[in-house]
Structure 1
Amino acid sequence: MPDMLVRLYDLPESRVSRLGPDIGIRRALAPERRTVVSWIEERFGAGWAGEAEAAFSSTPTRIHIALFAGRLVGFACHDVTALGFFGPTGVDEAMRGKGIGEALLIESLAAMRAAGYAYAIIGGAGPTQFYARAVGAVEIPGSTPGIYAGMLSPVEPSGT
């Protein structure tokens, strides 16, 4: 999967107000770390959970969460695997198609812009058409496999 480049000085307006009254997006708080990281690991695996843990290592945190009626339904990280990188991000399967992923993306990228970045890299972008449509991201030629090449795989317990 290629990396993509986003112009942060040309982001679309926030999408949070379009989500409806029961859905909100905010930065996660340090006391929520274990809850959020466990939720991510259950749905998206150990790799993304590890990146989410790194997002809690600064103040303010570098992870936005989406809540539906007070329940965690999505997340987006930035500046975790490398400075200037957006991701990982994910939305609970039952809540997809409601604009939550796009709203998380824009809020996280806006936080990067507020921190002084002019550009962001979406590392190993899976849904490239989504990112191109949502924020005008463009593929970076020759960026596959990128920074994630040669990463260790999670080790399964041996039972001993």
Structure 2
Amino acid sequence: MSGEFNVVELSEDQLPAVVRLCRAALDPVRDAPEAAEIIARLCESPGRTPGLVAVAGGEIAGVALSSVGSRDRHSGHLDLLAVVPAHRRAGVGRALLAGTERLLAAAGAHEVRLAGNPPYYAWPGVDVGYTPAICLARRTGYRQDRTAWNMSVDLTDDSRVAQLRTADDEHRLAAAGITVRRAAATDRDALAAAVEAHFAGAWPVEVAHSIGRAGAGCQVALRGGQLLGFAAYGSARPSWFGPMGTFPGATGLGIGRVLLRRCLRDQYAAGVRSVQIGWVGPEPFYADAVGARIERVFFQFRKSLRP
């Protein structure tokens, strides 16, 4: 299908239609089932700029969501660009991208990045499986500058799930005075402050966002009330794990492996059967601890908005 369309600013009442569009346009296994969570997370961004939709024949044919950088206000991010299959190859994606560039320039951005804008992001970059998006980026002057990836853990494998048991390790940690438990709402502020003190970037917001929400959670390790480590999931969306960290002085105790496995058990209990460890590193730890494998690869692009 092709034909005329108009690009207009997204309104709040169009969000349900945008979710339906994303369910039709995104990867049917890895992204479409969490379309509602993706849109909700992107709309929470304090740096969000006006979204755009392409309307054809009274229906939404495409959508673009963008934001200014959480740490660099001169960096603009295209957070989502989706076009329903029936309207592809008709200029919809190109028009939405051009409109987004104008909005970001008006917001003070000096460049546009096709890369995640943590802590409010849907992907680290453009999944290499989304070939039309990569072709559009290259045709419109974007250059690839980095590559990111996710690792996945298959929880449909009963033997893999059985390997997530942590009783022996927790007994060993308890003998050393270390308690491992699920973080409660009363832990949120102290945990976020501790993460901010020791880890740079968006992790404090992601950790805080994982506590007390449906489809999300956080596990912590403590000794004498002192936080030793944390592992969170569901901040980006229910099937994604991370971030995770061990505080200085507590490395080498096996805390990370226990926290990771407890989170994966929580996700399994919630019905998740394939966990994505987002924007991952270090790969050997996750491969050894839970049999994770590199699965999704993302290209990151950028384009200057200056003459």
With the length of structure 1 as denominator, give the TM-score of the two structures: 0.83
**Which contiguous aligned blocks of 4+ residues in structure 1 show a shift greater than 6 angstroms?**
none
Q: Is residue 58 of structure 1 aligned with residue 205 of structure 2?
A: no
Q: 1:24-70: per-residue Cα shift (whole Å, max 9, x none)?
A: 11111111211111001111124000101111241696111111222
- Aligned ranges 1:119-158 → 2 under 5 Å: 119-141=274-296, 143-145=297-299
Q: Is residue 5 of structure 1 aligned with residue 145 of structure 2?
A: no
Q: 1:3-27: per-residue Cα shift (whole Å, max 9, x none)?
A: 0010224231213223242111111
Change (3 A) 1:59 1:3: closer
Aligned to 2:241: 86
User: Runs of 5+ in structure 2 lacking a partner?
Assistant: 1-147, 303-307
- Aligned ranges 1:16-55 → 2 under 5 Å: 16-21=170-175, 22-55=177-210
Offset of 1:145 from its aligned partner? 4.9
Structure 1 SS opposite 2:195: helix
How many Å separate the matches in 1 of 2:198 and 2:154? 30
Decide which of 112, 117, 120 is 2:267's aligned counterpart: 112
Bigger Cα Rg: 2
Structure 2 SS opposite 1:83: coil
How many Å separate the matches in 1 of 2:154 and 2:197? 32
Q: Are the aligned partners of 2:241 and 2:278 in contact in 1 as well (CA < 8 Å)? A: yes
Q: What is the aligned-residue identity percentage?
A: 32
Q: 1:114-153: per-residue Cα shift (whole Å, max 9, x none)?
A: 1111110000111101100110001014x2358xx88xxx
RMSD: 2.0
User: Runs of 5+ in structure 1 lacking a partner?
Assistant: 151-160
Offset of 1:82 from its aligned partner? 2.1
How many Å separate the matches in 2 of 1:45 and 1:59? 26
Q: Are the aligned partners of 1:28 and 1:61 in contact in 2 as well (CA < 8 Å)? A: no
Q: Are the aligned partners of 1:51 and 1:80 in contact in 2 as well (CA < 8 Å)? A: yes
With the length of structure 2 as denominator, give the TM-score of the two structures: 0.45
Per chain length, whose mean CA-contact separation is higher, i.e. which structure has more relative contact order (CA < 8 Å, sep 6+)?
1
Offset of 1:83 from its aligned partner? 2.2
Q: Are the aligned partners of 1:28 and 1:63 in contact in 2 as well (CA < 8 Å)? A: yes
State how many pairs are aligned.
147
